């Protein structure tokens, strides 16, 4: 039988406010254990929380970006449960009236830029819990309460995704929106974004959903993809064997690539939700909500479509550029300076520049690259002053030194050799060393030309003008 997979996601994103949600402790990562907490965030009896307005602002902006309606009057609720990393034995969250609800996100699914609309059920604000530390050196576990009170938004989707690929596209888009709005640092490795994954399967064609299982705290998007694929297969195998899927919470073990039962699904009433008596009702002025809506910048999907139509970039390029705001800004600034092809700029940003950033594990702002330097360099290549290969040398320098591309070209003597007499000798030597490709060429395999040009470029240390080299090679072979 053929099955349809149904995926719903709950994304928890830590907000990058200066201070925590209910106290004035710094909202920072990596402090010494239990040094960044106070009586409020550690839940000492008699302390009172005060809501950080920035948390509301950030959440409402996300709500606008995901096309939600904003509840201008809402409350916060206590979600009661005992866990060692939550000393007060309840988490302040939002239960029946979230700050934002009934939204959607259009996710781009293919190269043509076709989109699918994923419903966003709600976005609510809540506080994070601490962290347990399990170390072999100690018997038992230790607790670090620094993370208690770090502000979170939880973004709950409708079960609208039908594959792990759609889920990945949704998660990637959510992450870039958080970055565009500058409300979360989105550092997956520090746990700034985690997600709970809900998966069910049902026979294709049936409109009744199957029983779902939830996997909590999946901490990377690629792990979410693996968890969804594994869980869908597990459920299908179970049904095929005549079994039934139990509603339960499972733990995804990414190392082993398997999920395990944690507990049968708890119902909402198990948490004994009730309105938080220590906090005021949140009341937002209409004007304020409107102001926040106007502050939303152009979002990634709009940017992708604009790059495809205005600059004729393929979806692949547009998507990669829009995914990273720094790269998108560099690209746009360079296009704005003008004088070279947008596609060439994109090739450099996504090619060598990204490679260098990855190798050194740094960001664009850690370099000395400017849009002006980049356009100047691409212009030199487009005019034929330097070859593409020499460009690779230039970029390595201008990214880290206060030098113009022209200066680097002069200092390193990179100007392209277009003088045929200087190139003659190189071509002849390369041809003499490569009789086999020449035979192939004569038999009609003209694609060996690229190989021969490459060999000549190498021999000229990247300074030969490839167009002229190509002409010379063709001429020599014909004359021979």
Residues that bind Zn ion (CB under 5 A): 23, 25, 38, 40-41
147 vs 212, which CB is nearer to Zn ion?
147
Instruction: Please state the closest distance from residue 32 (CB atom) to Zn ion, in A.
Output: 15
3: β partners: 203
Instruction: Please state the closest distance from residue 145 (CB atom) to Zn ion, in A.
Output: 9
Instruction: Please state the closest distance from residue 126 (CB atom) to Zn ion, in A.
Output: 16
Angle between helix 315-323 and helix 300-310 axes, rounded to 10 deg: 140
CB-based contact 192:14 (threshold 8 Å): yes
25 vs 215, which CB is nearer to Zn ion?
25
DSSP character string of 280-324: PPEE--HHHHHHHHHT----HHHHHHHHHHHS---HHHHHHHHHS
Instruction: Please state the closest distance from residue 40 (CB atom) to Zn ion, in A.
Output: 5
Q: What's the CA angle centered on 299, arms 113 and 117, to 5 degrees?
A: 50
Name every residue whose Cβ is closer than 8 Å to that of residue 139 and which is 6 or more positions away in sequence. none
16 vs 390, which CB is nearer to Zn ion?
16
For 368, the token pair is: 């000395």
41 vs 232, which CB is nearer to Zn ion?
41
Instruction: Please state the closest distance from residue 149 (CB atom) to Zn ion, in A.
Output: 5
147 vs 250, which CB is nearer to Zn ion?
147
CA–CA distance, 277 with 297 (Å, rounded to integer): 36
CA–CA distance, 60 with 68 (Å, rounded to integer): 9
CA–CA distance, 166 with 354 (Å, rounded to integer): 26
Q: How far is CA 72 from the centre of its chain?
A: 31
Instruction: Please state the closest distance from residue 207 (CB atom) to Zn ion, in A.
Output: 49
Instruction: Please state the closest distance from residue 151 (CB atom) to Zn ion, in A.
Output: 12
Torsion angle, CA of 247/251/252/258, rounded to 10 degrees? -80
21 vs 431, which CB is nearer to Zn ion?
21
By the 10 Å C-beta count (0-12 exposed, 13-18 middle, 19+ buried), 73 is classed as exposed
Name every residue whose Cβ is closer than 8 Å to that of residue 250 and which is 6 or more positions away in sequence. 213, 214, 215, 231, 259, 260, 261, 262
Instruction: Please state the closest distance from residue 26 (CB atom) to Zn ion, in A.
Output: 9
Give the sign of the dihedral formed by CA 79, CA 80, CA 81, CA 86. Answer: positive
8 vs 149, which CB is nearer to Zn ion?
149
Using alpha carbons, select from 294, 342, 302 the residue that is nearest to residue 319. 302
79 vs 147, which CB is nearer to Zn ion?
147
Instruction: Please state the closest distance from residue 150 (CB atom) to Zn ion, in A.
Output: 10
25 vs 169, which CB is nearer to Zn ion?
25
Instruction: Please state the closest distance from residue 49 (CB atom) to Zn ion, in A.
Output: 9
Give the sign of the dihedral formed by CA 423, CA 386, CA 343, CA 173. Answer: positive
CA–CA distance, 288 with 72 (Å, rounded to integer): 10
89 vs 422, which CB is nearer to Zn ion?
89
């Amino acid at each position: 039988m053929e099955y349809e997979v149904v995926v719903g996601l709950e994304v928890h994103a830590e907000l990058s406010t200066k201070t925590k949600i209910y106290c004035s402790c710094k909202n920072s990562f990596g402090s010494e254990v239990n040094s960044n907490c106070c009586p409020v965030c550690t839940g000492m009896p008699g302390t009172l929380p005060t809501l950080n307005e920035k948390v509301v602002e950030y959440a409402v902006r996300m709500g606008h970006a995901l096309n939600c309606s904003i509840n201008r009057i809402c409350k916060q609720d206590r979600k009661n449960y005992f866990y060692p990393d939550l000393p007060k034995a309840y988490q302040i969250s939002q239960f029946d009236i979230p700050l934002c609800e009934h939204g959607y996100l259009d996710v781009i699914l293919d190269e043509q830029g076709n989109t699918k609309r994923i419903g966003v059920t709600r976005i609510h604000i809540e506080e994070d819990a601490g962290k347990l530390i399990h170390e072999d050196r100690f018997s038992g576990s230790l607790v670090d309460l620094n993370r208690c009170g770090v502000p979170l938004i939880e973004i709950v989707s409708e079960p609208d995704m039908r594959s792990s690929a759609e889920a990945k596209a949704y998660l990637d888009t959510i992450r870039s929106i958080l970055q565009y709005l500058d409300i979360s640092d989105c550092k997956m490795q520090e746990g700034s974004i985690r997600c709970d994954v809900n998966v069910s399967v049902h026979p294709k064609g049936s409109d009744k959903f199957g029983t779902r299982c939830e996997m909590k705290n999946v901490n990377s998007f690629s792990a979410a993809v693996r968890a969804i694929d594994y869980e869908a297969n597990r459920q299908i195998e179970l049904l095929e064997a005549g079994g039934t899927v139990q509603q339960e919470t499972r733990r995804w073990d990414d190392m082993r690539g398997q999920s395990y039962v944690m507990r049968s699904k708890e119902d909402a009433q198990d948490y004994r939700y009730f309105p938080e008596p220590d906090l005021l009702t949140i009341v937002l002025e209409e004007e304020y909500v409107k102001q926040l809506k106007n502050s939303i910048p152009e979002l990634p999907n709009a940017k992708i479509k604009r790059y495809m139509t205005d600059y004729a970039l393929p979806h692949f390029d547009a998507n990669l550029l829009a995914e990273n705001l720094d790269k998108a800004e560099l690209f746009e600034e360079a296009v704005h300076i003008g004088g070279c092809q947008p596609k060439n700029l994109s090739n450099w940003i996504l090619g060598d520049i990204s490679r260098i950033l990855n190798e050194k594990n740094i960001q664009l702002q850690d370099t000395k690259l400017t849009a002006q330097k980049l356009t100047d360099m691409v212009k030199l290549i487009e005019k034929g002053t330097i070859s593409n290969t020499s460009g690779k040398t230039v970029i390595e320098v201008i990214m880290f030194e206060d030098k113009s591309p022209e200066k680097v070209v002069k200092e390193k003597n990179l100007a392209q050799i277009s003088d045929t007499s200087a190139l003659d000798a190189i071509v002849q030597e390369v041809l003499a060393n490569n009789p086999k490709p020449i035979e192939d060429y004569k038999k009609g395999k003209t694609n060996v030309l690229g190989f021969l040009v490459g060999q000549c470029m190498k021999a000229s240390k990247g300074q030969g003008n490839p167009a002229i080299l190509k002409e010379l090679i063709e001429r020599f072979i014909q004359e021979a």
